[in-house]
Amino acid sequence: PITPGELLCLGSSLALSGLFYYMYRKKARVVARIQEAPKLQVDDDLPALVSAADGRCLPYVALEGIVLPAQAALNSHFHEGLQGVIQKLLLKEHRLIWNSLARNW
């Protein structure tokens, strides 16, 4: 006979397995979209392509081209001759929504 404790363990194991499988499938779809992303060159045609896109945004594209540093390139301490730049990230929130539970925007 199966005890209630064993049924509880089996049920929780199945629930966790289902949750993890759902999360895995969701991330696998995102990875597939990224791998299928079109590769674009950084050239004079790129601004026109972005402005012609829906919402002036290109989701999941790979940009290929030469990056020039704003001031000076960063030199690697571990690999001689290897240089890099830091990408400046700007996050802009387009709208504010009032959260009545937390009483903030």
- Is the Cα dihedral 57, 59, 61, 63 positive or negative? positive
Nearest CA-CA partner of 88 in 103, 100, 70, 73:
70
Q: What is residue 39's three-state secondary structure?
A: strand
**Residue length, the chain?**
105
Digit-coded pLDDT (tens) for 38-69 = 888 888 888 898 888 888 888 778 888 887 88
Query: Pick the residue with more confidence: 13 or 68?
Result: 13
Digit-coded pLDDT (tens) for 56-103 = 888 778 888 887 888 888 898 998 988 888 776 666 766 677 778 877
